[in-house]
Structure 1
């Protein structure tokens, strides 16, 4: 394979400073760096240096897109984007948190930034061989990094993006429209059925018998050793403002349209483009076969080139960790050491509220709070624009947070309050330090520090497994409906933050395993407030638990096969085929509708293209994907006014014209449809009849007739020809915020879409050693040389991913040495 300028450069020792600490970086056969150093600063210096070699352009775009600095390199088309990002975070709050870190924690950020800068200086000195091609294509150069930049990659993605979903304003618009159309009583009934506060039948990550609503703080796993002192977290809490927000100056309808459009522009799927996130399976000693524990994570951020996650090994300064993490965070979100393994999925818990501010009619920059009008805080941001004049934006903030919308004409503004505000850096450090934990109590202490709504998972050498629904959740006043904007005048303020022992969590669950696909954490836990996401009886996690309940014990190969099986499973079919069967049971055997349902009954509820002819093998796939949208339309279209039906119309299936950009999930309309069909047996009370007095079977048969007609018109009468074209899995060149992180010609794809992780990592403990595997497509490196030559590790994991294969990852020194392909020694300040 041709050696690129970059791969040649990393074979050379680079003594950058005199009187310096020494760092050794060993890269394995897949290009994964293993950094060895004695101090925290030097360890993360080596980390930053490695990231810069592999992903410099991607990281430059990540830095700029999380801070709203895209226009200064790409021009006027990005000004509005930059404005929206600038109004979504408080830079002063972030800097104060950085300044409050203790010396060793601060060294993580400083070391990382200095390592990045060391490589950037070399790139700028050798642009003809080391400057990634995308910089030349877009006519700008990389700039040096600071601790703030490193922190904002984490804050601007995991916090300001994935920890910030909220649709309370949109929910209020839906409720208002329903009441206007159907009256107060029916309007509320429809709203509660579409967006329920609690579905008692929703599957839970913690077995219902294992959770009582609190984790006993006297539990031996918490009292086994003294709690770790957390002065840094206390300092940060004192600095927290609890205030932040987004989207300045938009009316209610504009805000809703913006929310829908931004997700579409950012390349995400789901209703209105919302992402559908990650899955996890952890198997403990009670359920594992031949080993003590197994952890297989599939974080689902979407599929991108360069890869969304970055692989790294860190060895020294109290770390001995291998794994991968989004956008090369300093914290390894998915990984292991020799004692424990950990992973995560999005938690969907509600820790963000919108407050409705009443403006002073004489001064729209004042708002009513606790009996008097108060001035909003303001700051002015200057956005530099390439080849154009700079633009300024004025940002407003109330006691609740930054403004989401500001309707001076009607005297109303909306502000966003985040429970995690001011705790972003504590969360980042907790995630970093979990890699040093040796057992469950140490891991649990770090989980207790995390403020974001993320599920944390644990497995260890002895076969113990654990789970925590992490995050800082507000204690709301009685009567505060978390689905709708709260009064901002002072009568609906939070009572505080719930103590950690009330976060759903379990250690060695009775089931012997932990399965999660962003489903409900525990029984009777407050539902999320997003109209596009709810915890319901219909949940894709059932595809995983059905397999896990099918036999007593699972080997690592069994778990890998389970992940492959669910990747091709139809997430909807299991819930509705029984209803189709009941509706057609009395029909003659030769009735085409009865025969069609027989086809569905015989279907394995998966969609493959094993002969690789470009069409799905299963005729039932075509029929079911035609039926479900028709059934949704017959059920809901006449009840939902205006374009609100569009929120509940999608069955979630991709097509070649609209390919899979994130994972597939049961859509909100589909969940409400199942509850309507359940009737009095539903987990959500059905006070409004979506079938309008008609028997449900009547609508099922009508939609089946419609689906059959469509299928036959498109494919002919013979079921042998009912084949849909395969949807490929594309690796897009935008990042999670829709910003271009690679050249337009760098898009990659596999033959068929798979409902699986952006990456997959598998960790196996047998009581004596750890064995770990991963696949991180397209490859470790995003580097393309100035002459257009890609790194040899640019896409060398793409075929692995397509074939459900994994590469080994190496932890112990002898393993790393046996698989080292190049060695680099650095000297730091």
Structure 2
């Protein structure tokens, strides 16, 4: 027995030693790619020494002799800190993820090949002005300089992920940056999904479509036509939408299709007498964040703010004279066209002039550990043909037809990058407005402020639709009919703009901005009907604002949806009946109602009320629509406040949703609300215990900043994922959009990855923050150092003073031209 024990001990010790050695070796190789921010380099591509000063938040301040040198250095630092992220963004746009991740990414690659975003980006390079071309070229050289150093000096392949996946890193090209901007346009629109879901509901019932996807209240909006009258032969379907989650997929469903807050106050509404501007764009949370903070010293002066690695522009930020913020405009920039196939030759489609052949091209998708996949790409005059397996298009495509996509971003002469560069150089509101003239996609409401005034202008190409268009862009339409074809773009002067309004405040929370009749409208569906209510109140309850009041508004966690819906759904339930015995389901419901009765709608992470409310309205909406829609109800993964309000106010007879169709009795809305509350408290008690007062919103609502690739890998997920308890919710200004489905429906998966507040009374007192850290390297102390500040609602200084940056420098790097003594 002693001999067996000794051998077991030896084996165990050997395994521990081997494991320790493997971990040590892994750490050694992974740490090789950690950059030394004090290390100097000799590089080819700069004309004079470039100084890169890293402040305490690891924000690079770049000082060079020319703009080209500065953009070179920006590419260099982006690659130093985010090379893996940049490579994945490029692969996504190119449709080349399957080369790394295998069959799971083939469908994403196929869609990207069909859209040809990368091919369009290559063509768009020639359309940029000379200044932008020079910046793109210099930036690419900077990225490639770091890739060359990684290869020559064995710096851990540039990022730890390259040890686990393909370490092939092709050199950067100017088209790569434009392709990533187009990728952002795809993430910022959900119009395809909206059209398909509207069509499916319309096939089932016009009333259902009107109630569940109502037009945002306002005048002059036309009624929804029945889809069955437009597309004969399409069958009704209650089937659930296909849901294949791929963290690297750029396709966004409606709740996640771009959101943001941006607002500004004129000097007469500012306590210090200078314009104020606040901005917090909302995107899917990830580790690292999509945003990267940087300061560039250009020939026109310093500029500082949020960049996206891969794009050589400050997309939201300020310079000495102008500040700008972005908010998704929710422009209806996509239309689905149903192309009728020739029964005798399916390679031809119907046009108003007869049958016409599709433009075809074959594309081969290389797949890791599997045979390559060959797809035939097709285009009609209306755009690329998208198979029915994408976006659930098969459910709304009539027999003998295929779907084509009209989309403003599919423009081979897209000058959006030039516009972004011009905005960065603009020194006044007027210059900023002029910069937006050539912007195409993604459509953004750009809020601007200079020392004297403010403005909000929509940047983006608005499709020009005929007044007689079938479906008005809300439903798929027949592609061969001339009344359904776009006739061009509306002039930039027609884009909504608000310049120095009398009230001294402009802003947007993705809410409806204009009330125009079709076809001069912007959209029928908008991204927000709730946050704008809270924003309006906060802006108007003070005569003047300050940097601090703008910060408080950015961080506000009161839900106007909760304040509206709770009195409606609980109207017949408050304080009714005798107190039930302790430990019973009835008592649990009464306790939940008691705590909700005293609640002010603050979605604070430390309170039980937000959790009870969120679970209740989620269960309520499910009970209201499940018996009518069946599996299709899963498409409504997030609470639709306008729908529940319509039901409980019985607008247009919407209270009929409360009656369960399959049961003989006629259920009332109060009964359904009570049953839904029982569903909610039972689910919560099973997960968090029976003590209602101990429940905590933050336990369920954690900001899930997960690594897109390694975030689900055992053990590694504990290293690469950043999880934090978080206040806010779906409808708060400090937006913490929930997952909506799955095992953790209240997980916070989308929010403000960047926040900035700019004060032109004292510009160097401006502040900003991102949600993770600057580095994409999990072993770097800058991987998550800013996330703690972000969660607490804190910021870091946003100063253009070079001496301040140098005084607190954590590293100073100099890039010297090769051959310089």
TM-score (norm 2): 0.80
Q: Does 1:676 align with 2:647?
A: yes
- Tell me: CA distance 1:390–1:9, structure 2 relative to 1, closer, same or farther (3 Å): same
Give the one of 100, 103, 107 matched to 2:127: 100
Residue of structure 2 in register with 1:577 after alignment: 566
Q: Match for residue 825 of structure 1?
A: 815
8 Å CA contact retained: 1:763, 1:771: no
SS of 1:299's partner is: strand
Q: Look up the match of 2:732.
A: none
Identify the residue that residue 26 of structure 1 maps to in structure 2.
Answer: 53
Q: Answer yes or no: is the 8 Å Cα contact 1:168–1:529 preserved in 2.
A: no
Q: 1:565 aligns with which of 528, 551, 556?
A: 556
- 8 A contact 1:26–1:823 mirrored in 2: yes
The alpha-carbon distance between structure 1 residues 545 and 176, as it changes in their structure 2 partners (threshold 3 A), is: closer
Question: What's the offset of the Cα at 1:701?
Answer: 4.7
Answer whether contact 1:733 1:743 (CA < 8 A) is retained: no
- Aligned partner of residue 397 in structure 1, secondary structure: strand
State the distance in 1 between where 2:716 and 2:772 align: 15
Structure 1: unaligned runs, 5 residues or longer: 179-186, 203-250, 610-615, 653-666, 785-789
Establish whether residue 552 from structure 1 lines up as the match of residue 543 from structure 2: yes
* Partner residue in 2 for 1:602: 598
Q: 2:185 matched to which residue of 1?
A: 159
Determine if contact 1:344/1:457 at 8 Å carries over to the other structure.
Answer: yes
Task: Report deviation, 1:805.
Answer: 1.3
2:435 matches 1:435:
no
User: Structure 1 residues 730, 54: closer, same or farther in 2, change over 3 A?
Assistant: same
- Report what 2:701 is aligned to: 727
- 436, 447, 455: which one aligns with 1:466: 455
Q: Give the deviation of 1:597 after TM superposition.
A: 4.5
CA distance, structure 2, for counterparts of residue 468 and residue 64 of structure 1 = 32
Q: How does 1:358-397 map to 2 (within 5 A)?
A: 358-386=340-368, 388-397=370-379
Deviates more, 1:400-409 or 1:376-385: 400-409
User: Paired residue for 1:763, among 757, 764, 769?
Assistant: 757
Give the Cα–Cα distance (whole angstroms) in 1 for the partners of residues 428 and 709 of structure 2.
35
Q: Deviations over 1:490-516 (max 9, x none)?
A: 321123322223222212234432343
In structure 2, the CA distance between the partners of 1:79 and 1:121, relative to structure 1 (3 Å rule), is: same
Q: Is the 8 A contact 1:459 1:465 kept in 2?
A: yes
* Equivalence map 1:590-629=2 (5 Å): 597=593, 599-609=595-605, 616-618=606-608, 620-629=609-618
Report SS of the residue matched to 2:126: helix
* Offset, 1:815: 3.3
SS of 1:313's equivalent in the other structure is strand
| Offset, 1:44 | 1.4
CA offset at residue 474 of structure 1?
A: 1.6
Please give the secondary structure, in 1, of the residue aligned with 2:616.
helix
1:816 aligns with 2:805: yes
Closer, same or farther in 2 for the Cα pair 1:525/1:260, shift >3 Å?
farther
Where in structure 2 are there 5+ consecutive unaligned residues? Answer: 1-27, 221-233, 389-393, 581-586, 660-665, 729-734, 737-750
Give 2:14's aligned residue: none
Superposed, which structure 2 residues align to 1:177-256 within 5 Å? 177-178=203-204, 187-200=205-218
Is the 8 Å Cα contact of residues 702 and 725 (structure 2) preserved in structure 1?
yes
SS in 2 for 1:402: strand
SS at match of 1:639: helix
Give the whole-Å Cα distance in 2 for the aligned partners of 1:783 and 1:595.
47
Q: Who is 2:511 aligned against?
A: 519
Matched, 1:632 2:659: no
How many positions carry a matched residue from both structures?
730
Distance 2:756 2:527 in 1: 27
* 2:323 corresponds to which of 336, 341, 345: 341
Distance, in Å, in 1 between the alignment partners of 2:619 and 2:34 is 54
Q: Is the 8 A contact 1:351 1:453 kept in 2?
A: no
Corresponding residue SS for 2:511: coil
- Structure number with higher relative contact order (C-alpha < 8 Å, ≥ 6 residues apart): 1
Q: What's the offset of the Cα at 1:353? A: 0.5
Q: Distance in 1 between matches of 2:460 and 2:539?
A: 28
Residues 16, 828 of structure 1: 8 Å contact kept: yes
Q: Which residue of 1 aligns with 2:743?
A: none
Q: Please report how far the alpha carbon of residue 162 of structure 1 lies from its aligned counterpart in structure 2 after TM superposition.
A: 2.0
2:489 aligned with 1:497: yes
Give how far 1:584 is off. Answer: 4.2
- Alpha-carbon separation, structure 2, partners of 1:404 and 1:254: 20
Instruction: Decide whether aligned partners of structure 1 residues 702 and 759 sit closer, same or farther in structure 2, where only a CA change above 3 A counts.
Output: closer
Task: Classify the secondary structure of the residue corresponding to 2:320.
Answer: coil
Q: Distance in 2 between matches of 1:715 and 1:474?
A: 50
TM-score by length of 1: 0.79
Please list the CA deviations of residues 338-378 of structure 1 after superposition, one character each: whole Å capped at 9, or x if unmatched.
11111112121101101000001111111000131100001
Displacement, 1:70? 1.9
Q: CA deviation at 1:127?
A: 1.4
2:162 paired with 1:135:
yes
Which residue is equivalent to 1:52?
A: 79
Aligned to 1:261: 244
Secondary structure, aligned partner of 2:766? strand
Aligned partners of 1:694 and 1:528: how far apart in 2?
A: 40
Deviations 1:459-510 (A, max 9, x none): 4342522112332112222243211111111321123322223222212234
Q: 1:783/1:712 Cα in 2 relative to 1: closer, same or farther (>3 Å)? A: closer
Q: CA deviation at 1:412?
A: 0.6
Contact 2:276–2:758 (8 Å) recurs in 1: yes
- Distance apart, 1:768 and its partner CA: 5.9
